[in-house]
Amino acid sequence: MKPSSSVRTEPLPPDFIEACTKAWGAEAEPRLLALNQPAVSSIRLHPQKRFSHSTLEKVPWHPEGRYLVQRPVFTLDPAFHAGAYYVQEASSMVLWEVINQLPKPKFAIDLAAAPGGKSTLLLDWMQEKGWLLANEPIPNRALALQDNLKKWGYSNSMQSRVYPEQLAIAIPESADLLLLDAPCSGEGMFRKDAFARQQWSFHLRTQCAKTQTSILPDAVKLIKPGGHLIYSTCTFNEHENLGHADLLFSLGMRPVQLNLSEDFGFKQLPNSMGWIAYPGEVKGEGFYVAVWKKEGTWVEEEMEVAPKSANSCPFSAYLPEHVQWNCMEWNSAWYAIRQPLPSFWSRIPGLQFLGICLGKSEKGRSIPDAHLAFISGCSAPRLSLDEVQVLPYLKGLAPVFKPQSEPWILAEFNGLGLGWLKTAGNRFNNAYPQPWRIRMDIPAKLSNPWL
């Protein structure tokens, strides 16, 4: 176990120091000093997946946010693999306080969503009502996003993998709420990410501001009249934050006044231009957030029920019975949804999945998807792994157990679904997805990660 982090030894970029001294005046010195202090580590608990951990200090602005005393090796914690918590920077969890001041959406878009910290937070808030389209154009980041959405186990997310322009052309004025957590120069990450320090330059800052300027018109096009835009970054400079205000005004957006408790330490910018977490003033890293509303009157979206499939779904027996499910075949796989889809769903470009990905039927065999292992109340036959068995399972080894008659068994740890085992005669084959398998050596003796 290593301490959460140590004092930074790489110096802050001199141009950054100069720019901050100019922008922050007397407040520059303590803030720059704070940027050389260790970063704070934190997690956000899944509200429906309980697991044991010691009493951790609460993040004041999120009911499930917890600060870590030490940063454990997450790879060796089965609860991490079960999606029982998300490792998320504390300041950005303030999004919870922000969304609680907005109407709940029927259709929301997270436009730059990977790896999924804010999408999973939005999903917790939506409580499986309405749809969240999580979009990420960069392929390898889109994969990480998909893994995290599946592990979070909700039935109301869908994912696309396109640039905002393509979405704006295909489904304009579709979102009641759109989050743009923009790609940025990452000044707020200087304490936890040495690379963010190394790569920072005025040029990078200008490039990021240009990228944001190019994304924002498409973001606004995607929002319904009367709908909301949440714009956030993890950087401090004005160019990438309130510097976009004139553009947003010209696109028919109006700023929305947000209220945050003074006790949190965030600074409010004048004229409803948002809130910012400065180093040393908030227990977390740097974060900026503002909300804008699109002019016009909000019109209720017509929803349509998902097309039912002609074939019977081979996975329906695994779905929790207390919910009315609609199973559909799409793109050579089976999906379960529990509420109507928006009428435009089939026009969403680059759609990767929607609802719960149940699995595939191949050559007469049904192969369940990992997603199904993470939903609450999955009624597949289960096998409970103990502390000795669980990490070898996550490493891809096949455990030795009594043979079972059912073809697929859900491997769980402390009641939390992890993945699938395939029965093969008198043994099991490990069906845990290859890319998720633990590659590091498992220590002979493991300590409790939370102590």
Catalytic residue numbers read: 234
Total residues in contact with ligand SAM, by rule CB under 6 A = 18
Q: Give me the numbers of helices (H) and strands (E) for the chain, helices first please.
A: 12, 25
Task: Judge contact between 4 and 71, C-beta under 8 A.
Answer: yes
Nearer residue to ligand SAM within complex by CB, 130 or 137 = 137
Q: Is residue 10 classed exposed, middle or buried when 0-12, 13-18 and 19+ CB atoms within 10 A define those classes?
A: exposed
Query: Restricting to residues 193-222, which ones interact with ligand SAM according to CB under 6 A?
Result: 211, 215
Question: Rounded to whole angstroms, how far apart are CA atoms 153 and 384?
Answer: 19
Which listed residue (69, 73, 138, 256) binds ligand SAM by CB under 6 A?
138
Which listed residue (105, 117, 279, 359) binds ligand SAM by CB under 6 A?
117
Which listed residue (72, 130, 137, 274) binds ligand SAM by CB under 6 A?
137
Residue from 339, 342, 333, 345 nearest 309 by CA: 333
Task: Judge contact between 58 and 66, C-beta under 8 A.
Answer: yes
Q: How far is the CB of 154 from ligand SAM (least distance, A)?
A: 16
Beta strands 326-330; 351-354: pairing state: unpaired
Nearer residue to ligand SAM within complex by CB, 141 or 382 = 141
Q: Which stretch binds ligand SAM (CB under 6 A): 18-26, 106-114, 249-257, 360-368?
A: 106-114
Q: Does 141 bind ligand SAM (CB under 6 A)?
A: yes
Query: Restricting to residues 154-183, which ones interact with ligand SAM according to CB under 6 A?
Result: 163-164, 181, 183
Q: Which stretch binds ligand SAM (CB under 6 A): 55-63, 130-138, 278-286, 337-345?
A: 130-138
Q: Which residue shows structure tokens 């520059």? A: 28
Q: Does 83 bind ligand SAM (CB under 6 A)?
A: no
Q: Which residue shows structure tokens 């010691």? A: 54
Beta bridge mates, 254: 293
Q: Which stretch binds ligand SAM (CB under 6 A): 41-49, 109-117, 276-284, 328-336?
A: 109-117
Nearer residue to ligand SAM within complex by CB, 141 or 437 = 141
| E strand spans, 211-345 | 223-233, 253-256, 267-268, 275-277, 287-294, 303-304, 326-330, 333-337, 341-342
Nearer residue to ligand SAM within complex by CB, 81 or 118 = 118
Structure-token pair, residue 401: 């157990």
Residues of the shown chain interacting with ligand SAM in the complex, contacts defined by CB under 6 A: 111-118, 136-138, 141, 163-164, 181, 183, 211, 215
